[in-house]
């Protein structure tokens, strides 16, 4: 990596570190409350001043391996890298999973010789942690069955833009206790946002993630609650969030899940139970007529395309910090002065 600052404007401190000390973004819980807040501030700064970062990643190369389809994540990482002068290489990994043709360690030991950062979308979360364990370059989770941290960070950036501040907001998540629910709970807890997660009992979020989020919430004052009643989750909610009832890889369960999840559909009646100023959120792709109705997703309350836009800005911030933040460590306060 370059030892010289490469941008005209100072970068915020490098906020992301895995337990092993390797700089990665694999879980939303990799960010401390301070680091999560700092990342959002930096992303907002970068969004407002994109020209200052046009050459920030000149000469940097990013490889992306995706075992699942993608529109938003692929394009925002590729466009984000290009907009800062870097290059992206996309590898369609949908025909065979990483680690099948050769070990994850051998894959990692090859890749670290060629490129500067890896972006992985996989089924098993252990595939991403396995590559990260052996790679000496940063690894970013672009969605696993367990988590989707980049999406959750873009979502809280969107809420911060909309409400001005995140502290004390309440987000109601209704639907499947999946990767999206997990990352929203972890990032929300870090950022001081209360979470009310309502799912059918058999589709509740994983206990260890709930416990981890509640522990983080004890530090920040965020209440993380899990329940089964979608109406109860709506009470006082500033934001209402839902996601697919059957995630990628669960398509064969779609019909069975549709019956169980019907009471969790975000329609006009359910939205009316939230605060009058509540916004509607969805990571997309949406399954219109299933988890959300057209009336809600197309309403003035919907911020789904703001969320999609902010994928670009938050991921640019993550890339800039992972790839050159370490060379420009300065306090956030100085950066703003």
Chain residues binding ligand CP by CB under 6 A are 70-73, 143, 151, 283-285
The smaller minimum CB distance to ligand CP, of residues 71 and 256, is found at 71
Q: Which of 24, 176, 257, 283 is catalytic?
A: 283
107 with 31: CB under 8 angstroms?
A: no
Least distance CB 329 / ligand CP (angstroms):
30
Q: Please say if 145 is a catalytic residue.
A: no
Q: Please say if 151 is a catalytic residue.
A: yes
Please give the structure tokens belonging to residue 114.
Answer: 């060629």
- Helix 125-134 and helix 104-111, axial crossing angle in degrees, nearest 10: 50
Q: Which of 45, 72, 74, 121 is catalytic?
A: 121
Q: Which partner, ligand NVA, ligand CP, none, binds residue 310 by CB below 5 to 8 Å per kind?
A: none
Task: Specify the residue for token string 């069955």.
Answer: 145
The per-residue DSSP string of 118-141 comes to EEEE-SSHHHHHHHHHH-SS-EEE
Please give the structure tokens belonging to residue 313.
Answer: 């800005």
Q: Please say if 121 is a catalytic residue.
A: yes
Euclidean distance between the first and the last CA atom of the chain, given in angstroms as a whole number: 27
Q: Which of 72, 125, 257, 311 is catalytic?
A: 311
Q: Please say if 324 is a catalytic residue.
A: no
Q: Which partner, ligand NVA, ligand CP, none, binds residue 243 by CB below 5 to 8 Å per kind?
A: ligand NVA
Q: Which partner, ligand NVA, ligand CP, none, binds residue 71 by CB below 5 to 8 Å per kind?
A: ligand CP
Q: Which partner, ligand CP, ligand NVA, none, binds residue 147 by CB below 5 to 8 Å per kind?
A: none
The smaller minimum CB distance to ligand NVA, of residues 7 and 314, is found at 314
118 with 89: CB under 8 angstroms?
A: no
- Helix 179-191 and helix 149-163, axial crossing angle in degrees, nearest 10: 50
Least distance CB 107 / ligand CP (angstroms):
22
The smaller minimum CB distance to ligand CP, of residues 209 and 312, is found at 312
Which residues in the chain belong to E strands, given as ranges? 61-66, 87-92, 117-121, 139-141, 170-174, 194-198, 224-227, 239-242, 279-282
Any bridge partners for residue 227, and if so which? 198
Q: Please say if 148 is a catalytic residue.
A: yes
Q: Which of 45, 125, 148, 182 is catalytic?
A: 148
The smaller minimum CB distance to ligand CP, of residues 223 and 284, is found at 284
Least distance CB 312 / ligand CP (angstroms):
12
Backbone angles phi, psi at 287, to 5 degrees: -110, 85
The smaller minimum CB distance to ligand NVA, of residues 55 and 68, is found at 68
329 with 14: CB under 8 angstroms?
A: yes
Backbone angles phi, psi at 252, to 5 degrees: -70, -15
Residues of this chain that interact with ligand NVA (CB under 6 A) are 143, 148, 178-180, 243-244, 247-248, 283
Least distance CB 144 / ligand NVA (angstroms):
9
Give me the active site residues, please.
121, 148, 151, 243, 283, 311
């Amino acid at each position: 990596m370059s030892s010289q600052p490469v941008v005209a404007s100072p970068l915020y401190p490098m906020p992301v570190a895995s337990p092993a000390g390797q700089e990665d973004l694999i879980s939303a819980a990799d960010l401390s409350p301070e680091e999560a807040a700092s990342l959002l501030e930096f992303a907002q700064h970068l969004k407002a001043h994109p020209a200052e970062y046009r050459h920030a990643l000149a000469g940097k190369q990013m490889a992306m391996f995706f075992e699942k389809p993608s529109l938003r994540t692929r394009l925002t990482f590729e466009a984000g890298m290009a907009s800062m002068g870097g290059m992206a290489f996309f590898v369609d990994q949908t025909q065979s999973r990483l680690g099948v043709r050769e070990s994850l360690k051998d894959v990692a030991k090859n890749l670290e010789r060629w490129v500067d950062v890896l972006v992985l979308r996989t089924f098993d979360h252990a595939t991403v942690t396995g590559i990260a364990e052996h790679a000496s370059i940063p690894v970013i989770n672009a969605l696993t069955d367990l988590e989707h941290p980049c999406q959750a960070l873009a979502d809280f950036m969107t809420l911060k833009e909309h409400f001005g501040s995140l502290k004390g907001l309440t987000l109601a998540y209704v639907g499947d206790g999946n990767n999206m629910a997990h990352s929203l709970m972890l990032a929300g807890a870090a950022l001081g946002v209360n979470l009310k997660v309502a799912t059918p009992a058999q589709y509740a979020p994983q206990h260890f993630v709930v416990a981890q989020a509640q522990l983080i919430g004890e530090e920040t004052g965020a209440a993380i609650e899990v329940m089964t009643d979608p109406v109860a989750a709506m009470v006082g909610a500033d934001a209402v969030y839902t996601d697919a009832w059957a995630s990628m890889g669960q398509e064969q369960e779609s019909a069975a899940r549709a019956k169980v999840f019907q009471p969790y559909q975000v329609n006009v009646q359910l939205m009316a139970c939230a605060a009058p100023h509540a916004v509607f959120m969805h990571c997309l792709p949406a399954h219109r007529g299933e988890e959300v109705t057209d009336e809600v997703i197309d309403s003035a309350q919907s911020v789904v395309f703001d969320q999609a836009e902010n994928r670009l800005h938050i991921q640019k911030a993550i890339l800039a910090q992972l790839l050159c933040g370490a060379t420009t460590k300065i306090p956030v306060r100085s950066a703003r002065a």
